[in-house]
Structure 1
């Protein structure tokens, strides 16, 4: 995997709905491009051989000058074991006062980033908050209240719907591409709770953080990854869905971080084969494959092999549904789980822990 809200001056872009294929994307592109930005983030990192991570948008740039260690132990420009890295990505304004969305992996741990607008102006942006688990970040440009912006869609797209993407591929500047939504809720290791949108619009390095838009010019996803053996576009791209954006960004704006509930288990969806092996007829839910020692589930008595079928009375039909439901609950709150163990129905009450904010290592860019 490769990692990668029209427009009057201060009015969100909107367009008449169209049920058919557009004759051209030119009108949409013209209206949304002023809201799309290039994002540049610089940081000092230890000079070491690293795996090719999925979100490496552009080659890192080494600075050749001699360096000396920093007295406070922090990376220094004069440290010979430190190099300056530059991440080049994309983003988009969601309000006229300068709030913009990009990828967490683009800004990394930096407190600021540089953005470039389509009118060739450069601004300094403050990183308001970032959420590595969803790979979303919120940044803010101060001093203006008239930026063009786009809205985040309220409805999910259908498979086969047209999609227009906008971004900053290879640092070239504002670029749009078009395609269709190829799949929804595509589950990838450590992807967002809601799963990815899969699209076939060309997405390349530097497009990370840019918007995927519907034919109304509303954001249906945030470009995040591509599946590629060469490092370039191969027709399979993934975007963080608008539903995740609507959940994460308000929390980043309010408190700079995102909190999620956790019960400390690993689960997988119950397939017909698993249901048959358990001697059950048409059993649906999430089967527990591992229970974290000393986690809330372990303390409540949950065991490997238990099948969770309901949370707070709501039916659970897959592992992703369970994860989404638990993540949406507050740490410290209590969740009532309906489950099946050895063919018998049981009820457990679990007090939720807080999910760690940092994701596990993701898949490499070019698996070999």
Structure 2
């Protein structure tokens, strides 16, 4: 009996040693595999294109002769039927757009439409056998997540850089009227614009858009448009040719204790209306400069940016309920939302 118990103990001991060794090697394998980004890059690189644009402009030095200006950037293949996302500033003013794929194919692209307010543009190519990128969910990323940027910096060819998500929801950069940037320290240089920001599973989470720099090169502060926002804008451009945004015609600033004391306001809450566009929806609804907006469509505690986003998402033609203060008297009004004018490029809800 003692011999049987001893043999069983030995068997179980050897099994435990084997299992522990297997788990140790598995953990080592996972650790080693996490140290390379090769799989994410391999699954994504064919979906990122280099973009070269050409523009014929009259030369001021040659009696109106035409000369060609070349620009470069990047783009991301979104669908098998050839839709590509890039930045508006990459293709702005272009008379010809050339795509260069990772498999060395080249082709002309047509411009479907642009949205200067968010600095996004949609291109279309008739090439076949395209590899669309996997679309991620930018709302689930967290500050500190590792990410990769893929693009064509300085025109030297497709390049991959790595970094982390440094911040989310950057909206006061002053680059575009509509901002909601992902900030990253992955190197983004001239030519990266319109390229892909991906997670370590190869999912697209953003479109690289801009850098903050004093030297012209990367200084560890880059910005990308979240893919959730970019896809909505792309769908609108494909469907309507442009992005339709709601518009009320008011400029606001966030209220606080300091502002309220300085202006002798009755409340330190809400959004202070600094100006109202003549004949705009807000003026037609009776609003005036100096009013304090308490809520829009029952949504309170709004920042100036959130209010702008809320109004831009409204459908022109619908009525929006606004609760506000004028002096110490509260009032409720309904404004008829209009379409944001094409020339409107300021931060006005």
Short-chain TM bin: 0.7 to 0.9
CA 1:152–1:267: 2 relative to 1, 3 Å? farther
CA 1:219–1:269: 2 relative to 1, 3 Å? farther
Q: CA deviation at 1:190?
A: 4.9
Residue 200 in structure 1 maps to residue 212 in structure 2: no
Residue 259 (structure 2) aligns with: 274
Residue 114 in structure 1 maps to residue 102 in structure 2: no
Residue 174 (structure 1) aligns with: 158
* Distance across 1 between alignment mates of 2:328 and 2:346: 36
Residue 275 (structure 2) aligns with: 290
TM-score where L is the length of structure 2: 0.83
* Count of residues in Structure 1 that have an aligned counterpart in Structure 2: 314
Q: CA deviation at 1:272?
A: 4.3
Q: CA deviation at 1:288?
A: 1.3
Cα deviation 1:238-269 (Å, max 9, x = unaligned): 11122321220001111221111111111122
Residue 327 (structure 1) aligns with: 312
Q: CA deviation at 1:25?
A: 1.3
* Distance across 2 between alignment mates of 1:229 and 1:235: 11
SS at match of 1:189: coil
Residue 45 in structure 1 maps to residue 28 in structure 2: no
Higher relative contact order, structure no. (Cα contacts within 8 Å, ≥ 6 residues apart): 1
Q: Which residue among 221, 228, 232 is the counterpart of 2:213?
A: 228
Q: Which has the larger radius of gyration?
A: 2
Q: CA deviation at 1:143?
A: 3.9
In terms of fraction of residues, the more helix-rich structure is 2
Residue 135 (structure 2) aligns with: 152
Residue 300 in structure 1 maps to residue 285 in structure 2: yes
Q: Which residue among 27, 38, 54 is the counterpart of 1:26?
A: 38
Structure 1: segments with no counterpart, 5+ residues: 1-17, 49-63, 69-78, 363-368
TM-score where L is the length of structure 1: 0.78
Q: CA deviation at 1:122?
A: 0.4
Q: CA deviation at 1:43?
A: 1.1
Residue 238 (structure 2) aligns with: 253
CA 1:249–1:38: 2 relative to 1, 3 Å? same
CA contact (8 A) 2:107 2:127 kept: no
Residue 56 (structure 1) aligns with: none
CA contact (8 A) 2:87 2:119 kept: yes
CA 1:288–1:190: 2 relative to 1, 3 Å? farther
Structure 2: segments with no counterpart, 5+ residues: 1-29
Q: Which residue among 68, 92, 95 is the counterpart of 2:79?
A: 95
* Distance across 1 between alignment mates of 2:294 and 2:134: 36
Q: CA deviation at 1:137?
A: 0.7
CA contact (8 A) 1:194 1:324 kept: no
What pairs up with 1:49-128 in 2 under 5 angstroms?
79-80=64-65, 82-110=66-94, 112-128=96-112
Could you tell which deviates more after superposition, 176-185 or 328-337?
A: 328-337
Cα deviation 1:7-66 (Å, max 9, x = unaligned): xxxxxxxxxxx9xx9422111111100000001111123546xxxxxxxxxxxxxxx9x6
